[in-house]
A and B are shown apart, each in its own frame.
Chain A
Amino acid sequence: MGAAHSASEEVRELVGKTGFSSDQIEQLHRRFKQLSGDQPTIRKENFNNVPDLELNPIRSKIVHAFFDNRNLRKGSSGLADEINFEDFLTIMSYFRPIDTTMDEEQVQLCRKEKLRFLFHMYDSDSDGRITLEEYRNVVEELLSGNPHIEKESARSIADGAMMEAASVCVGQMEPDQVYEGITFDDFLKIWQGIDIETKMHVRFLNMETIALCH
């Protein structure tokens, strides 16, 4: 049928765009429909239906990231109201494991993309800088899972981290210089030496990965 044909066409297109295999896309599509309640788009409320997500301390940040135009490559700021399946895949593709066949340059590119996603999560006002305030917010949320840690100590940790970042990124500053926040370049610097490409990945279900290993 024509519909089926166009569907597979669509899938092929998505494969090209996101790098997922068609199996994975089908899998994710099923999940997407489950989440959206068979609607073509997902709204923020839909994520409330994921029970396991409840416990996640930075849940709102993560959900937010799904609707972030920067991550969806649709604009430099702002939020989308709803996302369709392609957008969903776009977000998911940030977490695709790195292909073993990639060359060094591609790996670097991939790494940058992944980090950018992370960066956007911190930089909530999309001004290209993680300010202290933003950082504190994230850290507070991050530690909110532990009821014994007060806001105060979360803040001080964020401050400490910020200073550390400043010392890593700027090194020695001029006396009157002011460190305004972590820019993306700084962010890259902080992550230097951590092999994020091997860390930031989810095993998207394909038949191979159900296996016991890892």
Chain B
Amino acid sequence: MLGRGARGSGWGLLLALLLALGVLPRVRGVEEPGSAHEESQGFQVVTFKWPHVRDPYIIALWILVASLAKIGFHLSHKVTSVVPESVLLIVLGLVLGGIVWAADHIASFTLTPTVFFFYLLPPIVLDAGYFMPNRLFFGNLGTILLYAVIGTVWNAATTGLSLYGVFLSGLMGDLKVGLLDFLLFGSLIAAVDPVAVLAVFEEVHVNEVLFIIVFGESLLNDAVTVVLYNVFESFVTLGGDKVTGVDCVKGIVSFFVVSLGGTLVGVLFAFLLSLVTRFTKHVRIIEPGFVFVISYLSYLTSEMLSLSAILAITFCGICCQKYVKANISEQSATTVRYTMKMLASGAETIIFMFLGISAVNPLIWKWNTAFVLLTLVFISVYRAIGVVLQTWVLNRYRMVQLEIIDQVVMSYGGLRGAVAFALVVLLDEKKVKERNLFVSTTIIVVFFTVIFQGLTIKPLVQWLKVKRSEHREPKLNEKLHGRAFDHILSAIEDISGQIGHNYLRDKWSNFDRKFLSKILMRRSAQKSRDRILNVFHELNLKDAISYVAEGERRGSLAFIRSPSTDNMVNVDFSTPRPSTVEASVSYLLRENVSAVCLDMQSLEQRRRSIRDTEDMVTHHTLQQYLYKPRQEYKHLYSRHELTPSEDEKQDKEIFHRTMRKRLESFKSAKLGINQNKKAAKLYKRERAQKRRNSSIPNGKLPTESPMDNFTIKEKDLELSEPEEAPDYGAEMGGGIEFLANITQDATATDSPSGIDNPVFSPDEDLSILSRVPPWLSPGETVVPSQRARVQIPCSPGNFRRLAPFRLSNKSVDSFLQADGPSGPDGSEEQPHKTLPESTHM
């Protein structure tokens, strides 16, 4: 009774719901004659129409139950860290099924193959395909295919034949089955199940190669399963004696047709999907819908053509991901990501719960100890043998060898799941006499693999010390070196005249860049579409976000006074080398000056899809400098436009301004390499961006109010001279004093300007806002814009005055250098140059 207590509250709720479910149909039964009676009495104000909503209502309730159950599970970390969710769901399903049975005495809710294959499976597989690590997948494609095809055939054949052998020995007693029935059973029980594998392996975190092999196998073996299943089913229908050699050949041919056809359908639909998303610029709101609808169509189409639907939707996801992600806006991408995860996770939840519920149905249970136990033994043993044999072959060709430990995990990870169950339920009792035995055995097998192996795989992995996947931050250097590497390797292959893996990849990416991307990607997306740029961008964003987050989390004196601030860091390229002069401190200074606004800028940029800046520029600039008068600040409702509504922008802008102010003070407070690094990076990022959209929407504005703030502070500075911390003695005074000053302010908690210590004045920010909301009175609307214009140029005087604060983390010399004439690349020009560029818009 693991975590019973922890789930207590959840249970109560569930039970209540369940009772409602059980009781409602009866209520209806009792009520119906009555209501029919009443109907004759004329018009009714309120009617109770349960039958009218019954089906969708029950579906919705079940989904709710499953979701609530998930909440319940996660109330206790202890339980979920030991027991996989799938196991909990199955157990929950069993309990619920028992209750339903007790209330109703018919198994009214079961996992039907139609529901499973049409509604529950596609989201999971699409999710898997869409988020497939392509490189890893194709890098191991050979291995995966071998396991998926040969391995599955091997499992099916050996299991079926061995069971038949045992049956002949008479150990199973009297069963009305022939060889073909056993082979049919073997084929449906052989396939490793993607849903179960995902559910268990996602929690185990084995290394990525191992994961991709097991998972890839479970996805790709679908074609084999489908073919084997269909072939043997038709053979059973035909009758064993009428099967000819031609049929067998047909079976083999149909394997290729089904698998390749399914893949082709997937690829075609991926192409279509990519092409469609290229033109969705003006229908942003339904953009995510295309992804789902078209990939679902690929699934249905291949199902219609009796091809492998799983392969189709998998490859649809795999092939479209690159182009779709590039084409759709950032918001849509997020929507797609979350919706997909939600659907997949929801479907998975429901599948496991209904697996449990479906098991509670005495009508389907037919027990045969020998058959059940032997099936369990055979599938485990043959899986292990198959894995060992195939790995032995593979390891002669593989660079990254699969060790014994990996093989153990692979054998052990061969979970069977809902696909097998759905297939076995599909069997026709008239053709397959022992259907119920097969069904019950499948349920046992599924439960055994999911529950027992699912429970034990984590300890096993720990015990065997399987190489875990390590979550590493993407590093810019790694990406760069990785890229260089790819080129080097393909070059070496070119030079040595071989057609290898790298050669193929290189050719493919060339082809992709030259043709596919041109057709399938938006022009704006083509520009910025580069993995390195993306990583660069991601890193910058992450830095910015974590920077803010850290500030808010640690936001106290401890933060300011933390030891890390004592160790100042100076990443300084001001080497004597003439070549690097332009990267000298003045450069950093520039970066620092705009760094704060950049934080927000890139965040904002992210929100409004960096790649579609075309239409944004004008809007943004206008709205930056010209706040709307109050009367124009009205709420609009539009079904078709979500994001770019004016008020939202304005709110955002106000938010950003506040944030910026807070950041200003953070900045001066927080020292260390993080900042330097980030600042520089952000600045550069921004420059890169500016080049693209030729404006810095947020870039110039912040000088306005922070500046005022800082002038105040500077006065304070003079006063707080004696406060200077002794250990900073050698450092340049300004910034440090400022720090001390903040500290003082904060302790006094009066902080007159209200923004110097952001952490202690979150409310204050609001009050500032309410005091001077820039858009409040129409008269004032122009003022900010004018001021902004005037102040943006960043006259050298301003510049210098700001410098001490901004550079508070800099060493003396770097500051001095920074203050002096700037580098040869004309850093002073930068602020000037940017101004006309954007104001004329």
Contacts and interface: CB of A to CB of B under 8 A. Distances in A.
Instruction: Please indicate whether A and B come from the same complex rather than being unrelated chains.
Output: yes
Contacts of B810: 175
A213 B397 contact: yes
Contacts of B549: none
The residue in B139, B478, B569 that gathers the most chain A C-beta atoms within 10 A of its C-beta is B569
A148 B526 contact: yes
Nearest to A34: B497
A212 B145 CA distance: 11
Interface in A84-106: 92, 95, 97, 100
B677 A164 contact: yes
Nearest to B394: A213
B399 A167 contact: no
Contact of A47 (B394, B489, B495): B495
Contacts of A34: 497
B688 interface: yes
Interface in A34-86: 34-35, 47, 50, 52-53, 55-59, 62, 66
B532 interface: yes
A10 interface: no
Interface string A108-140: 000000000010010000000001110000110
Contacts of A31: 495-497
A11 B704 CA distance: 75
Secondary structure at the B interface, as helix, strand, loop or mixed, is: helix
Interface residues of B, number: 83
Interface in B143-176: 143, 146
B572 A202 contact: no
Contact of B501 (A139, A200, A203): A203
A142 interface: yes
A133 B581 CA distance: 10
B571 A131 contact: no
Contacts of B532: 142-143, 157
Contacts of A47: 495
A92 B146 CA distance: 31
B688 A150 contact: yes
Nearest to B489: A202
Given A62-B488, A156-B685, A164 B476 contact: yes
A160 interface: yes
A205 B500 CA distance: 9
B341 interface: no
A50 B533 contact: no
B489 A168 contact: no
A199 interface: yes
Interface stretch (B272-280, B301-309, B479-487): B479-487
Contact of B399 (A133, A139, A166, A201): A201
Interface in A174-214: 174-180, 190-191, 193-194, 198-205, 208-209, 211-214
Contacts of A35: 495
A138 B485 CA distance: 12
Nearest to B811: A175
Contacts of B570: 173-178
B480 A191 contact: no
A112 B492 CA distance: 19
A161 B536 CA distance: 9
B491 interface: yes
A97 B677 contact: no
Given A160-B536, A173-B570, A175-B569, 14 more contacts: A28-B496, A52-B507, A62-B491, A95-B492, A97-B399, A155-B684, A159-B684, A176-B570, A176-B812, A191-B481, A199-B485, A203-B498, A205-B498, A208-B396
Interface of B: 139-140, 142-143, 146, 394, 396-401, 470, 472, 475-478, 480-481, 483-485, 487-498, 500-503, 506-507, 510, 513, 526-530, 532-533, 536, 539-540, 567-575, 577, 579-580, 583, 672-673, 676-677, 680-681, 684-685, 687-688, 691, 731, 810-814
26 contacts: A35-B495, A53-B494, A55-B510, A56-B490, A56-B506, A58-B484, A92-B492, A92-B496, A133-B579, A142-B480, A142-B483, A142-B487, A148-B529, A150-B691, A152-B687, A153-B688, A153-B691, A157-B536, A160-B685, A166-B571, A167-B569, A179-B573, A200-B485, A213-B142, A213-B398, A214-B139
Interface of A: 28, 31, 34-35, 47, 50, 52-53, 55-59, 62, 66, 92, 95, 97, 100, 118, 121, 131-133, 138-139, 142-143, 145-146, 148-150, 152-153, 155-168, 172-180, 190-191, 193-194, 198-205, 208-209, 211-214
